[in-house]
Structure 1
């Protein structure tokens, strides 16, 4: 069965080469590009062009090793979680400046590629939509390819909106490199409401033409009707949230319920194994990797130094503290049973599936973060790779993959863009805000907590109490999946969560007794009001002859 990865060779065909040139006696026939005529005369070639739009160009060092980037950060060295209170990237790689509020148009860190890659992807989708009607193929295939291009274009706009707010909607007119980019209207930003409306319309157009299932010749990893409806639900959830405030919670709830009502998706029985199973019925849309295709090796990038790992995205104590006890009580509750001397006992089972901690069983051994002498501490091998937070990442890691010398083995874990648990959480949040904590809200949260092995929420919660419960549930259920960065912003609580110190823990051992001491793992953490959205890179402003308006505050 084909996957998207098997088609990436076409990305070597420069987009510039997809346009015709005036002939003269100096012209030669290029062999590294495809003409418009060839593209629209071969439906298989055109379909490969569409498939490749799921991927983007590499624009920065330390991203997209081996395979090209998709949407967001996915499985990169520094993940998006390390710009939040979930983790820090142990070796910085241009993440600490964002954590410390030093983000600027001239210095965007790892956040600097979203603008350029998104608009390049949009232009490439516009190109496909311009020529698809000229394609010689069945109407059914043509309808699907159009829908797929609308989906990809809508996703690119979603990435722009959630990172920059109101952005430029280029419509269908910009699709060639030769198009006139000098006019001021080309760089005119639309309102946030209009941007959301446009992106939602893209997902509606996609949903109308996409198949319900990826089967037959429709390869896994490509968009479906459910994927389009799920991203529409995410867009409308953002639109109703305090930062955006351009939509209604009722619309967001209805959009999430439309995905639920497909009755196609369900929760995986085991939370931990979900992230290793590309065929899980919980997955709505995913990024697939082909066998032996080189990409970032997760296990060595994030593993403990005692196993020859590089630590990578190390979880913060801020996140660890969000996991309740397995009786459903917060660790700050005096009746919860939390024991500061044994802080990892009887916690939410999702904690054990997400984070490696001192004493955790791992690969037939025990993680030793303690000093003196712990092999996964600064006293162990490769001590420059010792965690700065006192934790290592477990989520997404496949214990069957080697940590030491993994370069010829590519892990096949999918990167999940959207899964059913998110939809249940989207529905619960929107419905609670629209109508209060009714039975359907409780049921959506119960499905997730039951799968995790956690008790149901207490009956009789107020709307405000349910808001707090849902936010905590999103924090632990969706940890490291690129939601926290956007959630705390859309809720307008980032001025609290992102200004809190980046906490870790020091573990010391004396005899058989461990002592756990909270510490600041990364100093200088800072969030300002302007940081609710990203700055547009200065180079993009300059390329527009300063006609493009910078994000407010920068």
Structure 2
């Protein structure tokens, strides 16, 4: 960490050309001093812009253009077992080590690419370091419009809070650093602080940003797409306080942490609502579109989505890398797991599957009150199921003027196979892609990092743990369900029953949005969820089908040491006061 924390970002041709100056009129060594940068308001703004380079692209920018869902129980990545060199296969094989993390493998675009995910530890610290430098120097910068200066300071605080959240939810408590490092700083004396101390720091930064009147709630112009806003500060605080109150990081069961998390999300819902945020009316269409940027957008739910990058933007990669083989694309990618399918309620609001009677999930415990049928498991399910999962014999739409039905039965055109281009569990991913899109370059979807639906569920979970299943808890969950015309939860649930329903609701509402992998860790249920994933093998018999459950793949990444990612060994060597995370 010494090397990259001490390094100073070089600003040369790019910054100067952005300021309208001659790009050749630079210092002899091609660099600018920090004093020169912060003596110019445009260059100071460019410095903050450069901090965004440390954000990962999330979505489908993991090796090999896969999704984080495949690292959790909500999906099976079909690179496994055909390509054991790919990151998901190495994750399943239990190859995470203190000196190597499969998540850090770049997505096939080169070791120095900024267009792929990886190296969360290094990128997060770089982002923290740069925001500290910005905040330490921006005070002396003279702006023609002082409101812009106030906005940039709030934006920097939100960025710092964001990078801390991404860092600690993977690696645990880190040193709280709010000042720029000097050349004489003694890094060997740096100590780790608790997770909750980091949460306090994150909350403080977010609250200061939220209080800034010149920090906007929305981006309203295309050139500013991708900038953080006041709404992002609300999202970061909501998620951070929820994580800090959860069993993994709240080992003593401190109820005040749940109360703090509930209040943070309650205030965010109230203030975001006042600012015009609301759930999008069409769950399916919402995910295959991008937000419209204006003061009164039709998309009022999105808080932050990842801006396009080069030609390989999110919709293009979703088309090619998570595809039905007969409808284009390079590979099947992440297939929704049977475990995810089983989590969807029936349309009458009753859970279909209550659990499993065996460790291999071959014997589902069927809720008799639900109306679920093993012979017809895809009938009368939660509408979010149909918006997320392609299943055997599902009607896709017209292709080349003819109706097309998914053929994921044995021997079908889309059938189970050991090829990377075929599903291994009988399912394909539907979410994020318009069925009418038949060309990889015609999609518009962007990956939504934060949205209002999450904050409703954050509040419901925290408030239930703090106060029990109050009417406010019911209202929050039922608001999310009402969007897709699902019945509200039945009254009279106990606190434990409500906890189970909220967890199920998060699983289906936030599927493939990079929540499940962290949720099962903060709840400390990884050993119950991630040992394997299953599917259904369908056989065609004339005009009918018969199916049997099957194991898609077993995994070795479910033991307690996998609850927290190990700190990179190269960094630990430089920090003699630090202890490695448990089990590593």
Q: What TM-score, normalized by structure 2, do the two folds share?
A: 0.81
With over 3 angstroms needed to count, the CA separation of the structure-2 counterparts of 1:217 and 1:506, relative to structure 1, is: closer
Cα pair 1:41 1:135 within 8 Å, conserved = yes
Shift of 1:116: 0.9
1:135 aligns with 2:135: no
Cα pair 1:272 1:353 within 8 Å, conserved = yes
Deviations 1:259-306 (Å, cap 9, x if unpaired)? 111123111111011121313101122222279575662111101122
With over 3 angstroms needed to count, the CA separation of the structure-2 counterparts of 1:384 and 1:482, relative to structure 1, is: closer
Shift of 1:414: 2.2
Equivalent residue for 1:313, pick from 324, 334, 337: 334
Q: How does 1:198-237 map to 2 (within 5 A)?
A: 198-209=201-212, 210-215=215-220, 219-237=224-242
Alignment-derived partner of residue 377 in structure 2: 343
4+ aligned runs moved over 6 Å, structure 1: none
1:70 aligns with 2:56: yes
Alignment-derived partner of residue 551 in structure 1: 581
Equivalent residue for 2:260, pick from 235, 251, 256: 251
1:421 aligns with 2:425: no
**Superposition RMSD on alpha carbons, in Å?**
2.6
**Cα distance in 1, alignment partners of residues 222 and 349 from structure 2:** 46
Cα pair 1:507 1:516 within 8 Å, conserved = yes
**Cα distance in 2, alignment partners of residues 432 and 488 from structure 1:** 18
Gaps of 5+ in 1: 1-13, 20-26, 57-68
Q: How does 1:424-463 map to 2 (within 5 A)?
A: 424-463=456-495
1:486 aligns with 2:493: no
1:303 aligns with 2:323: yes
Q: How does 1:4-83 map to 2 (within 5 A)?
A: 16-18=9-11, 29-31=28-30, 34-56=32-54, 70=56, 72=58, 75-76=61-62, 77-83=65-71
**Cα distance in 2, alignment partners of residues 224 and 319 from structure 1:** 33
Shift of 1:204: 1.6
With over 3 angstroms needed to count, the CA separation of the structure-2 counterparts of 1:512 and 1:420, relative to structure 1, is: same
Equivalent residue for 1:367, pick from 406, 414, 417: 406
Alignment-derived partner of residue 285 in structure 2: 273
Cα pair 2:332 2:422 within 8 Å, conserved = yes
Cα pair 2:129 2:180 within 8 Å, conserved = no
**Cα distance in 2, alignment partners of residues 278 and 473 from structure 1:** 24
SS at match of 1:95: helix
Gaps of 5+ in 2: 1-6, 13-25, 81-85, 105-117, 293-298, 353-365, 399-403
Cα pair 1:297 1:410 within 8 Å, conserved = no
**Cα distance in 1, alignment partners of residues 226 and 483 from structure 2:** 25
Alignment-derived partner of residue 5 in structure 1: none
With over 3 angstroms needed to count, the CA separation of the structure-2 counterparts of 1:240 and 1:524, relative to structure 1, is: closer
Deviations 1:500-543 (Å, cap 9, x if unpaired)? x211221211211212211111124441111110011223334x
Cα pair 1:358 1:370 within 8 Å, conserved = yes
SS at match of 2:483: helix
Shift of 1:328: 1.2
Cα pair 1:85 1:316 within 8 Å, conserved = yes
Shift of 1:84: 0.8
Deviations 1:168-212 (Å, cap 9, x if unpaired)? 3333132x7xx34653123x2112221111121121222222223
Cα pair 1:437 1:462 within 8 Å, conserved = yes
SS at match of 1:343: coil
1:107 aligns with 2:100: yes
Cα pair 1:288 1:413 within 8 Å, conserved = no
SS at match of 1:54: helix
Shift of 1:335: 2.9
With over 3 angstroms needed to count, the CA separation of the structure-2 counterparts of 1:460 and 1:545, relative to structure 1, is: closer
SS at match of 2:335: strand
With over 3 angstroms needed to count, the CA separation of the structure-2 counterparts of 1:151 and 1:328, relative to structure 1, is: same
Cα pair 2:409 2:540 within 8 Å, conserved = yes
Shift of 1:75: 4.8
Aligned pairs, number = 508
Equivalent residue for 2:155, pick from 137, 148, 156: 148
Deviations 1:418-446 (Å, cap 9, x if unpaired)? 11111111111111112121111111111
SS at match of 1:516: strand
Shift of 1:400: 5.2
1:330 aligns with 2:355: no
SS at match of 1:502: strand
SS at match of 2:456: helix
Alignment-derived partner of residue 305 in structure 2: 286
